[in-house]
Copies of this chain bind each other. A is one copy, B any other.
Amino acid sequence: MTQLTVTPDTAGITDVPGFEAAGVACDIRQKNDLKRLDLALIFSLRPCTAAGTFTKNAVKAAPVLLDEKHLAEGGTFHGIIANSGNANACTGAEGLRDAQAMAQRAASSLNQKPLAFFVCSTGRIGQPLPMDRVLKGIENAVSERGRTPAHGKKAADAILTSDTRPKTVTVTFTYDGKKHTVAGFAKGAGMIQPNMATMLAFLATDFSVPRSFLQKTISEAVTGTFNCVTVDGDMSTNDTVLMLANGHSGVSVGDKSPRELRVLFAEAVWKACEVLAEKIVSDGEKITKVVEVRVTGAASAEDAGKVARAIGNSLLVKSSWCGEDPNWGRLASSAGASGAKLIEAKLDILYNDVPAMTAGKPHPELKPKWKEIVKARRFTVTLNLHLGKAAFRLLATDLSEGYVTYNKSE
């Protein structure tokens, strides 16, 4: 069986043949900072199919509304324009006009149709975009675009907000003697609890992929990866995952492809999303711990998710993780408050593989072991409800004083 090669820190999008990128500085934050990259371009001269998933927030940013429209009108696509520093959300009709203008400027500069471009924004909500800077930035990005790793890295840098590091991934595999690539980049940090996608993530492949197959593949991957992380339980107005397939390799993958190829492609997309989702959690705003919350034995998948999210979003639980205090009583209380079916007398709680409670009975004698486990930067808590077969895995973070300080004012 062919193996996937997963490389977590790469140039990202320019690792896919046929994709160009750029990252430029246009001082969208209006702080006289002409060094901070804040506008990214992804461009494929070859027309692409595209698929995407968007925030479920009822308040959607203007670029999300625009991208949903572009995706629905469903022609072929040539690229993505994305800015950081301003979310273009809660900006009314003016915001929608601004998002359209961004697509138009990219299209006219690259001799394509506006419908062939997606637009993404991330940053503060409720402020108009400084459009003179943005449009000039788009022109600069078009001029500076290229296919070298340096270009890919600049694009990955340009979408960051409170992230402390870029987030890229490249997955390759060989099939039928030919090397194929799925690669991408993402940004995360705060307002992270996706209910569809989260944050911004852009992926590309050099396969030729029919649109519906691409959508199914990315949707499944997003459900199992980006939608299973939480930093602060807040779902953004801008969450977007987009994937472009440019067919550069001359090989197609779709419903009628051999099973091995379909599985390999789906695994490559899933793995790329998984790596980016983990990077987002690990770089959550001012976090000190990444905690995998595993819920097993739930009566339903919905219940398993409720318990995991109640724990991963509990302020008391998250604070105790920050303090390296194995306060398992707070896990039990949050699980009980989640609304899921739960019987205390059946409940097991474990830190890694060391029980804190089995069948509702505490094991205080094992406390020294839990205390050691929660000192690690990453550990697992498992709750087995013993009520059924459903399970859920959530990647969560602790909550530090630094998060509050950072978010007191933006």
0/1 string, A349-364, CB within 8 A of B gives 1: 0000000110011101
Distance (whole angstroms) from the CB of A298 to the closest CB of chain B:
12
Let me know if A384 is at the binding interface, CB within 8 A. Answer: no
Interface residues of chain A: helix, strand, loop or mixed (majority): loop
Using A57-B336, A403-B404 as known contacts, list a sample of 7 further A-B pairs with CB atoms less than 8 Å apart, ordered by residue number in A: A125-B327, A125-B332, A126-B362, A234-B337, A315-B403, A319-B406, A325-B410
The chain B residue with its CB closest to the CB of A341 is B58
Residue contact A399 to B315, C-beta cutoff 8 Å:
yes
Let me know if A275 is at the binding interface, CB within 8 A. Answer: no
0/1 string, A231-270, CB within 8 A of B gives 1: 0111111000000000000000000000000000000000
For A89, give its contact among B56, B324, B329, B345 (CB under 8 Å): B329
Residue contact A319 to B408, C-beta cutoff 8 Å:
yes
Q: List 15 A-B contacts (CB under 8 A).
A: A58-B337, A58-B343, A59-B332, A59-B337, A60-B344, A89-B333, A90-B362, A125-B333, A127-B364, A191-B316, A191-B333, A320-B407, A322-B408, A400-B404, A401-B404
Residue contact A407 to B319, C-beta cutoff 8 Å:
yes
The chain B residue with its CB closest to the CB of A191 is B316
Let me know if A209 is at the binding interface, CB within 8 A. Answer: no
Residue contact A314 to B234, C-beta cutoff 8 Å:
yes
Task: List chain B residues, Cβ under 8 A from A327.
Answer: 125, 409-410
Distance (whole angstroms) from the CB of A339 to the closest CB of chain B:
8
Task: List chain B residues, Cβ under 8 A from A110.
Answer: none
Distance (whole angstroms) from the CB of A402 to the closest CB of chain B:
8
Residue contact B323 to A407, C-beta cutoff 8 Å:
yes
Task: List chain B residues, Cβ under 8 A from A322.
Answer: 404, 408
Let me know if A296 is at the binding interface, CB within 8 A. Answer: no
Let me know if A29 is at the binding interface, CB within 8 A. Answer: no
Task: List chain B residues, Cβ under 8 A from A344.
Answer: 58-60, 90
Residue contact A234 to B316, C-beta cutoff 8 Å:
yes
Residue contact A409 to B232, C-beta cutoff 8 Å:
no
A window 131-179: CB within 8 A of B? none
- Leading 3 A-B pairs by shortest Cβ distance: A323-B408, A125-B329, A59-B336
For A323, give its contact among B342, B400, B409 (CB under 8 Å): B409
Let me know if A75 is at the binding interface, CB within 8 A. Answer: no
Let me know if A390 is at the binding interface, CB within 8 A. Answer: no
A window 54-76: CB within 8 A of B? 56-60
Residue contact A237 to B333, C-beta cutoff 8 Å:
yes
Residue contact B409 to A320, C-beta cutoff 8 Å:
yes
